[in-house]
Amino acid sequence: MKKTININLGGTFFHIDEDAFAKLNRYLDAIKKSFTDPQGQDEIIRDIEARIAELFAEKRDSVSQVISIKELDEVIAVMGQPEDYMVDEEIFDDAPPKQQRQRQYQQRASYKQLFRDVDNKFISGVAAGLGHYLGIDTIWVRLLWILLTVFSSGFFLVVYILFWILVPAAESTADKLTMQGEAVTIENIEKKIKDEYERVADKVKDVDFDGAAKRAKSGASSFFDGLGSVFSVFFKIIFKFIGIILLITAISTLVSLIVSMFSLGSVSFWGSDLTDYIGVVNTSGAPIWLISIAVLLAVGIPFFVLFLLGLKILIPNIKSIGTPAKITLGVAWIAAVIMMGIFAIREVTEISNEGSVKTVNPLAVAVNDTLRLKMVSNEDFEYRANRSGGFEIKRDEDGNRVIYSNDVRLIVRSTSKPEGRISIEKSANSTDYQRSREYAERINYNYELKGNTLYLDGYFLVDVADKYRDQEVEVIVYLPEGSVLFADKNTRSFHSNSSYYDDILTRGDEEYFLRIEKGKTTCLNCPDGRESNYNGDRTTSGWDDDDWSSDDWTDDDWGNSDTWVDDVEQSTETTESEQATSTDSTATQSAVVNDSISNSSNQ
């Protein structure tokens, strides 16, 4: 059993085993002994220790992991052996290096990282840092910033401030080497510090020549440093707040997803389990558990990443989850998205084609007859008839689950034929037209004519095995011209149609006696105010169902079939005939209304 020792290396706390600790001490002592000149020795050692601490932090998987000989050897391989960098006082002279020094160490691949060069800053060191990173002289970068700020109306000033806040300053020797693209090794650290000593010495020599300029630059730098500190604190507070928002959003979403996945069977809507509704709309036939897992991964993984991002904003030094975990999450998310895409394609394909079946039956309504129109609800499913679309899962009188929908559209049109008729068109969606027709035929919808009252079901039923396929029912009632219609007020939501459907029963016509005319209705008992507003004319369409017949069309002078024969014939009628017809209509109107109201009250 090996002993572990707690050490503080470069300001970071580490657990290291006894053998590795002894070897690390020997390594650092050997580095110290390799210096023949004490100038800058302490600073070099501090930077080397800081760099070793950074490498140790990258090697360990957790804060509690113990550093062993293996990790130490890997760090030494990066830093290099002390004997590779035997340096004497000649580094401080202008003389070339000793010819006898033979370097066996091969320079490792280096990379650049963006830092702010605070040693050569004028405001914050952003331009100098970008110059190092891009390999451009600093003066050109500063000039480019000025031009971009002027021509962008100050936008790049905001970009500059963001760089100032987000880009770290190169404070340690290791940071400065990385900023310049040099490998962070003992040799380069030592050389960098020696160069800085020489630069300081040169500045002391030139102090009398550019003292005033330096003082001005120092004053400007101090002002901008203070301003930068204010911005930094302000934006740090904002970033912390954003981190909190991300954490709250991610945690609440993840908890909701997990709870939803485990409680699907216990959540009820209108008396049925949520899984029943999922199964009804799942026309592709994919297993619900597989869909649930795909949704959990496809939605949950991005929010888990947001959770980690928020945690990183609040705790910058928190350790990453590691590359294997990132790859696993990425692969799982891609697989879930692909799986959901496949489900979606199958779902869309399953309802891509619409088919319908239509039945037309005669309706015992003749000219001068009065028809009462009323929608009927099923009290076992819904208290009152009302069209709202959508569907619900109910149980019929035998206890079987059925799809209940009130997506029933009512249309009233006129016909010139002496007897009325009713058209029931049922539609559904599936993979092809023939299968759609088969699903449409299985829609259960009924109506009944009792006396002079037509009872229309305000709903239809579908077996759950057929699933929800956007089933609809369209009821068209054709009434002969000259008949009278009285629509119950519960028909209002079912006949709220646009002009596209050529419905002559408009919203607000309920509970009034309406005389059916060609493509329109005329209110027979509207209040005075209502009749004066509408002039007694309830026109919604200039068409009736017979106008669509090809025999009713004639060519105009240009050969276009856009003129009605009826219109041509009507235009040749004399004014006297129209006046006579109007007089007869006025004479009989009162009798028709009184007779209709009398029949209605007797029922």
Run means of pLDDT, 10 residues per run, the chain, 603 residues? 80 84 85 67 76 80 75 81 53 40 41 78 80 83 83 80 79 74 64 60 51 52 63 76 89 87 57 67 77 89 91 81 88 93 87 90 91 86 68 78 88 92 93 91 92 92 86 93 92 84 86 91 76 40 45 37 35 38 44 50 45
Q: Which residues of 584-593 are buried (b: 16+ CB within 10 A; e: fewer)?
A: eeeeeeeebb
Domain membership of residue 402 (yes or no) is yes
Domain membership of residue 246 (yes or no) is yes
Cα 589 → chain centroid: 61
CB 505 within 8 A of CB 521: yes
β-pair partners for 423 = 360, 476
Angle 407-410-411 from CA coordinates, rounded to 5°: 145
Examine the domain organization and report whether 443 and 399 are in the same domain.
yes
| Number of domains the chain contains | 2
β-pair partners for 537 = 522
Examine the domain organization and report whether 369 and 303 are in the same domain.
no
Q: Which residues of 32-63 are buried (b: 16+ CB within 10 A; e: fewer)?
A: eebbeeeebeebbbbbbbbbbbbbbeeebeee
Domain membership of residue 123 (yes or no) is no
DSSP string for 375-401: EE--TTT-SS-----S-EEEE-TTS-E
Tokens coding 146? 């000025």
Of 548, 566, 590, which closes a domain?
Answer: 548
The tens digit of pLDDT for each residue in 8-57 reads: 887 788 888 888 888 888 888 887 777 655 666 677 777 788 878 888 88
Of 309, 334, 350, which closes a domain?
Answer: 350
Examine the domain organization and report whether 371 and 339 are in the same domain.
no
Domain membership of residue 32 (yes or no) is no
Residue ranges of E strands in 484-593 = 484-487, 513-517, 520-523, 537-539, 553-554, 563-564
Domain of residue 329, residue span:
239-350
Domain membership of residue 345 (yes or no) is yes
Report the sign of the C-alpha dihedral through residues 485, 490, 496, 501, in that order. negative
pLDDT of residue 586: 40
Examine the domain organization and report whether 337 and 359 are in the same domain.
no
pLDDT of residue 336: 93
Domain membership of residue 177 (yes or no) is no
Examine the domain organization and report whether 362 and 482 are in the same domain.
yes
Give CA–CA dist 20/26, Å, rounded. 10
Q: Give helix then strand counts, H and E, for the chain.
A: 16, 21
The tens digit of pLDDT for each residue in 554-586 reads: 334 333 333 333 333 333 333 344 444 444 444
- For 549, phi then psi, to 5°, come to -70, 140
Domain membership of residue 268 (yes or no) is yes
- 3-state SS string for 16-79: EEHHHHHHHHHHHHHHHHHECCCCCHHHHHHHHHHHHHHHHHHHCCCCCCEECHHHHHHHHHHH
Examine the domain organization and report whether 482 and 430 are in the same domain.
yes
Tokens coding 439? 């699903």
Of 290, 324, 350, which closes a domain?
Answer: 350
Examine the domain organization and report whether 312 and 389 are in the same domain.
no
Examine the domain organization and report whether 262 and 381 are in the same domain.
no
Domain membership of residue 448 (yes or no) is yes
Q: Counting beta carbons within 10 angstroms of the beta carbon of residue 273, is it exposed (0 to 12), middle (13 to 18) or buried (19 or more)? A: middle
pLDDT of residue 552: 38
Examine the domain organization and report whether 471 and 484 are in the same domain.
yes
Examine the domain organization and report whether 396 and 280 are in the same domain.
no
Examine the domain organization and report whether 305 and 448 are in the same domain.
no
Examine the domain organization and report whether 427 and 462 are in the same domain.
yes
